[in-house]
Structure 1
Amino acid sequence: MSRGRRVVLWRHGQTAWNLERRFQGSTDIELTEAGLAQARRSARLLAGLKPDAVIASDLKRTRATAAELAAVTGLEVSHDETLRETYAGAWQGLTHEEIVERYGDQYAAWKRGEPVRRGGGELETEVADRAAPVIERSVEKLPDDGTLVVVSHGGTIRTSIGRLLGLHPSTWEALGGLSNCCWSVLGESVRGWRLLEHNAGTLPEPVLGDDD
Structure 2
Amino acid sequence: MRLLLVRHAQTVANVDFLLDTAYPGAELTELGERQAAALPEALAGEDVTAVYASPLTRTRRTAAPLAAARGLEVRVRDGLREVTAGDLEMLPGGSPRGQTFMRTVVAWMEGATRLRMPGGETGEEVLARYDAVVAEAADGGAGTAVLVSHGAAVRLWTAVRAGNLDAPFGASQGLENTGVVVLEGSPSDGWTALSWAGALVEGTGPVVEEGPAGRPLGEADRHGPDPAGPGGGPGGAV
Q: TM-score range by the shorter chain?
A: 0.7 to 0.9
Structure 1 CA distance, aligned partners of 2:17 and 2:165?
Answer: 28
RMSD value, Cα: 3.1
1:140–1:119 distance in 2 versus 1, CA, 3 Å: same
The aligned counterpart of 1:52 is 49
Give structure 1 stretches of 5+ with no counterpart.
none
Max radius of gyration: which structure?
Answer: 1
The aligned counterpart of 1:65 is 62
1:8–1:175 distance in 2 versus 1, CA, 3 Å: farther
- 1:97 deviation in Å? 3.4
1:177–1:34 distance in 2 versus 1, CA, 3 Å: same
The correspondence for 2:28, drawn from 18, 26, 31, is 31
Question: Do the aligned residues in 2 keep the contact of 1:11 with 1:178 (CA within 8 Å)?
Answer: yes
The aligned counterpart of 1:207 is 206
- 1:166 deviation in Å? 5.4
The aligned counterpart of 1:88 is 85
Q: TM-score, normalised by structure 1?
A: 0.80
1:66–1:164 distance in 2 versus 1, CA, 3 Å: same
1:60–1:93 distance in 2 versus 1, CA, 3 Å: same
Question: Do the aligned residues in 1 keep the contact of 2:165 with 2:193 (CA within 8 Å)?
Answer: no
- 1:119 deviation in Å? 3.0
Segment of structure 1 superposing worse, 156-165 or 12-21: 156-165
The aligned counterpart of 2:229 is none
Question: Do the aligned residues in 2 keep the contact of 1:11 with 1:154 (CA within 8 Å)?
Answer: yes
Superimposed CA distance per residue, residues 2-25 of structure 1 (whole angstroms, 9 cap, x where no aligned partner): xxx200001100001101111112
Residue identity matched to 2:35: Q
Q: TM-score, normalised by structure 2?
A: 0.72
- 1:163 deviation in Å? 4.1
- 1:160 deviation in Å? 2.2
Question: Do the aligned residues in 1 keep the contact of 2:91 with 2:98 (CA within 8 Å)?
Answer: no
